[in-house]
Structure 1
Amino acid sequence: MHHEYSLFEEVPDPVTFCQLRVDAGMSPRSIEAATAGLPRTIFGVLVRHAGKVVGMGRVVGDGGLCFQVSDIAVHPDHQARGLGKALVSRIVAYLHENVPAGSFVNLLADGEAHRLYAQFGFRPTAPGSIGMDLVIDRTTRAAKPVR
C-alpha cells in the first residue's frame, strides 16, 4: 500500500458505505439497510486518502461459528495500488487473532477477485457447495437475486 494511504480499523458511515459500493461497481444497498447493519459489524477496515474513505472491508457473522468477509471495495480511482490486498491482509490477520478454532469463514468473490482471496488461503467450495443469494425486495414483496 502506498504511503499516501492510511488503514483504519473502523466501519464507514452508511452514506459513505453505500456510495463506495456503487462507485466500485458493486450492487447498491439502501441507507436504511446500511444504518441497521453496519453497527453489527464484527470488524471493519477503511482506507483513507487525504481524509476521504477510498476503500473498505468488513467481517460479519455470529461471533463464534460463522464469519463472512464482506463489502471489500476500493474506489476505481485508487485501484491497482495494493489497497484491496491491504484490506484483506488486515481482515485475515484479525480472523487468525480472534476467531475460535474450527469456525467457518466464507466470502463471495466477484469476477477475478478470487485470485486476491486465494493469496490468503481462501479456496473455492464448488463443487462440494455452491454460493447462493437471496435479496428481499420490499417494493414487490418478493425475493429476487442480485446481479
Structure 2
Amino acid sequence: MEPQLSREIPGNHEYRALRTAAGLSVMSEEGAALGLPASWCAVCVRDNGELIGMGRVVGDGGLFLWVVDIAVAPARQGQGWGRRIMQALMDEVHARAPKRTMVGLIADGTAHELYEKFGFKLVAPGAHGMLLRL
C-alpha cells in the first residue's frame, strides 16, 4: 500500500524526530507543544502509521502566511513527496487565503527550485531574509 497524505498536524515527538532526520534544525519540545496546534494548515504523509513526510503553513490567515516544516524522511526523498506536500498546502492556501495575502518561506540549499514551481520567487537582492533564533 502506498503512503497516504492527509491534512493533519503531526504529533510533537514525531514532528521533532522527522525534522532532525531530514536535516532541519532541532526544535524544542515546549516550542512544538505550543506551535503545532496553532498551525493554519498541516499535512502528513504516513506509511503504515509512520510519519515519513510533513509540511505546515503558519500565520494570521489573512495578511501573512509562511510555509514551514517541509520535511521528508531521507529514505523517501526523491520520490516526489516534497512536491505532493507542497501541492496539498498550496491548494489549501489558494482555497482559503484572501486575495493579496503574502505567502513566504525560507528555502534551504536548492529547495528554491521546488518552490519556484509553485510561483515563489527569490527576493534578493531587493530584500533579504532574516532570522533571530532564541
Q: Please indicate the TM-score interval, normalised by the length of the shorter structure.
A: over 0.9
Q: Which runs of 4+ in 1 moved over 6 A?
A: none
- Aligned partner (choices 85, 88, 91) of residue 90 of structure 1: 88
RMSD: 0.8
Between the aligned partners of 1:5 and 1:119, the Cα distance in structure 2 is 23
Between the aligned partners of 1:69 and 1:52, the Cα distance in structure 2 is 22
- Partner amino acid, structure 2, of 1:12: P
Partner secondary structure for residue 75 of structure 2: helix
Between the aligned partners of 1:63 and 1:98, the Cα distance in structure 2 is 8
Question: Structure 1 residue 125: deviation in Å?
Answer: 1.0
- Partner amino acid, structure 1, of 2:50: K
CA offsets 1:8-41 (integer angstroms, 9 cap, x no match): 1001011111000000011100111000100000
Question: Structure 1 residue 50: deviation in Å?
Answer: 1.8
Alignment TM-score, normalising by the size of structure 1 = 0.89
Question: Structure 1 residue 128: deviation in Å?
Answer: 1.3
Indicate yes or no: 2:106 matched with 1:113.
Answer: no
Indicate yes or no: 2:17 matched with 1:27.
Answer: no
- Aligned partner (choices 10, 15, 18) of residue 17 of structure 1: 15
Alignment TM-score, normalising by the size of structure 2 = 0.98
**1:37 match:** 35
Give structure 2 stretches of 5+ with no counterpart.
Answer: none
Between the aligned partners of 2:120 and 2:89, the Cα distance in structure 1 is 13
Larger Rg: 1
Give structure 1 stretches of 5+ with no counterpart.
Answer: 137-147
Indicate yes or no: 2:81 matched with 1:65.
Answer: no
Partner secondary structure for residue 37 of structure 2: helix
